[in-house]
Structure 1
Amino acid sequence: MEKDNYLTFENGNITSKKWELDRISISHSIIDYNSFEAHTSKNDSESVRLHFGLSGNYDFNFKQLKSSFKLTGHHNNIIYSDGLDIEVFNKSKRIETFGINFTTETFINIAQNGNDSLKKLAEKVINKKNAILSNEWKPNNFKIHQVINEILYCQFTDELKDLFLLSKSIELLVLQAELYESNSQSRFIKSNLDKQKLFEAKEILVKKIDNPPTISQLSILVNLNEYKLKKGFKEMFGTTVFGYIHSNRMSLAKRLLLGTDMSAKEIAYETGYSSPQHFSKAFKKEFGNTPDSIRNHPDYTT
């Protein structure tokens, strides 16, 4: 079941979409604030949440975990709590989040067959110990970003949509488990300031997909030297700057082909290609079909 909500509260409003499956719920929320101040959120539910920050800066205190976190940009973690009591202080006027809640039984059944990180968390869930996968929140890599977009722009309907959302929810769990299993000691980017600059670089590439800056221009825009920009971007997001631009263009082009009446020529220029021919060649290499044929191809409905 899919449901859209719009809620106004004292400090702003929330626009959200929720998908309810059997033993899994998925939510996407955009919160627009009128001011900067603390607010609380409480409920009595028990669940395991895959939490993904998509934009915005905020601090929050989590009573059940006895912990405080300062979060910015794209980030993720997995949290188990029996009840929820948090205080959030927004540091930006807009915060966008995405989350998947598993029932504890569902999570345990999946996680017990996972890697060491998931097994350790599953053990705490079994013993009803409020827990977080890691005290260090890691940035969303490109694979995670891609799967979230596949969920948000899913074209399937009815039973096939439920099956698709279930499979993608499990895929996100696997991607997080893989991300947190990696050795954090070998990281190239260590300072929070450099991380913030890389998040800014990523947002610039998203906003300027039709005419992205060169590495040199991007380096100047975020005040980060080219070497650190290239190495840090690959480390944080799992792809190169040019790989990110290409994948983002292909993802957007596919959504526009399936979700709008725009012609392939219009989409080519919308996504920054110099000619429809170059776009068609790149698209066919990526998906195995030309832009004109994909709309009616049975294998490309998402």
Structure 2
Amino acid sequence: MEERKTITTEQGTRTSITWQCDDILLGHAVSTFKEPISFSGSSQADVVRMHFGMKGNYAFSYKQLDKTYDLIGGHHNIMYSKDFDITVYNKTLVLETFGIQFPSALFIQYTQHANDSLKRFAEAILAGKNVMLSEQWGAIDSPIQQVLQQIIHCKYNDDLKKLFLLSKSIELLVLCAEAYENTRQEQFVKNKADKEKLIAVRDLINERVQDPPNLTQIARIVGLNEYKLKRGFKEIFNNTVFGYLSEQRLHLAHRYLQDTRKTAAEISYELGYATPQHFSNAFRKKFGFTPASVRNNP
């Protein structure tokens, strides 16, 4: 079941879409505010919440954990409490979020024999504790971002769409658990200001995939030296700046092939490849099939 909503108030507009797949609920929302405000939310549903902040900076107070988290664009975590009461304070005028809710019993069934971090999390739920998977929120890296985009732009219908969304929910759970293990090993990026700048680098690349600045220009734009830019980006996003850009280009190309009638040659030039052959080789290496096969086998 899919539901779309647009709510406009004096404070701004919120556009959302939710998908109900058996007992799992997925949702994507974009909120546009006229000014910084605070707003509250609550729920009594006995669910585990996966939260992804895709764009925008905000803080939120979580009553059941008695903590406030100060968050910058591009983060994720998993949380559980029997009741759920939060107050959000937006710092930017646009917030984009994504969430998945698993019934607690189903989540335990999936995770009680998973990796150590998920097993501990499941044990805490069984013990009736209010818990966050990690006190340090993970960054949305390229694999997580691509799955989020695949869900948001899903073209399937009916039962096939349901199967797709269910599989992607589990994939995100695995990716987030894996990212948590990597987050605990961060050593180089130790202050919030540098992390904000590195997330700004990622956002800059996403916005300028078709005409990206070079490393020197990026460093100057965000105010980091190239050494800190390269090492910090690799630590947070588990990829080099160039590697991340390459992945974004190829996934965008895949979407163009599915959603438009542009030729592979047109797409290759639009995304900055030197030649269509260079694009085709990179595409095959990434996905294991040629650009032409995307349209031959939709």
For the superposition of Structure 1 and Structure 2, which TM-score range results when normalised by the shorter chain?
over 0.9
1:52-111 residue CA offsets vs partner (Å, 9 max, x unmatched): 110101011111111111001100100112222111110000000111100011101011
Summarize the alignment of residues 53-132 of structure 1 with structure 2, pairs less than 5 Å apart. Answer: 53-132=53-132
2:210 matched residue in structure 1 = 210
CA deviation map 1:20-47 (0-9, x unaligned) = 1012111111010111121111222221
Unaligned runs of 5+ in 2: none
Letter paired with 1:12:
G
Q: Residue 17 of structure 1 aligns with which residue?
A: 17
**TM-fit CA distance, 1:186:** 4.6
Q: Contact 1:51–1:97 at 8 Å: present in 2 too?
A: yes
Aligned partners of 1:46 and 1:103 also within 8 Å: yes
Aligned position for 2:31: 31
- Structure 1: runs of 5+ lacking an equivalent: none
CA contact (8 A) 2:136 2:183 kept: no
**Structure 2-normalised TM-score?**
0.95
Counterparts of residues 47-58 of structure 1 (less than 5 Å): 47-58=47-58
- Point out the more displaced range, 266-275 or 99-108: 266-275
Tell me the equivalent position of 2:142.
Answer: 142
Counterpart mapping for 1:149-168 below 5 A: 149-168=149-168
**What TM-score comes out, normalization by structure 1 length?**
0.94
The 8 Å contact of residues 249 and 271 in structure 1, kept in 2 or not, is answered as: yes
- Quickly say closer, same or farther: Cα 1:243–1:21, change in 2 above 3 A: same
Query: How much identity, in percent, do the aligned residues show?
Result: 46
Partner of 1:194: 194
**Kept in 2: contact 1:210–1:269 (CA 8 A):** no
Give distance in 1, aligned partners of 2:250 and 2:183: 31
Quote the residue 2:264 is aligned against.
264
Q: Secondary structure at the match of 2:296?
A: coil
Q: Comparing 226-235 with 282-291, which one deviates more in the overlay?
A: 282-291
Structure 1 CA distance for aligned equivalents of residues 167 and 294 of structure 2: 23
Amino acid at match of 2:113: N
- Measured after TM superposition, the shift of residue 253 of structure 1 is 0.5
Q: Alignment RMSD, CA only?
A: 1.5
Decide whether aligned partners of structure 1 residues 276 and 185 sit closer, same or farther in structure 2, where only a CA change above 3 A counts: closer
Change (3 A) 1:57 1:295: same
Give the match for residue 133 of structure 2: 133
Does the 8 A contact of 1:75 with 1:137 survive in 2? yes
Q: CA deviation at 1:288?
A: 3.2
1:14 CA displacement: 0.7
CA contact (8 A) 2:183 2:236 kept: no
The more displaced of 23-32 and 267-276 is 267-276
AA paired with 1:135? E
In the other structure, the counterpart of 2:280 is: 280
Does structure 2 retain, via aligned residues, the 8 Å contact 1:210–1:273?
A: no
- Give the distance between the partners of 1:289 and 1:109, measured in 2 at CA: 36
Alignment of 1:218-229 (within 5 A): 218-229=218-229
Higher mean C-alpha displacement, 55-64 vs 151-160: 151-160
The number of equivalent residue pairs is 298
String of CA shifts for 1:184-225, please: whole Å, max 9, x gaps: 255211111110110111111111111111111111111111
1:233 aligns with 2:195: no
Q: 3-state DSSP class of the match of 1:182?
A: helix
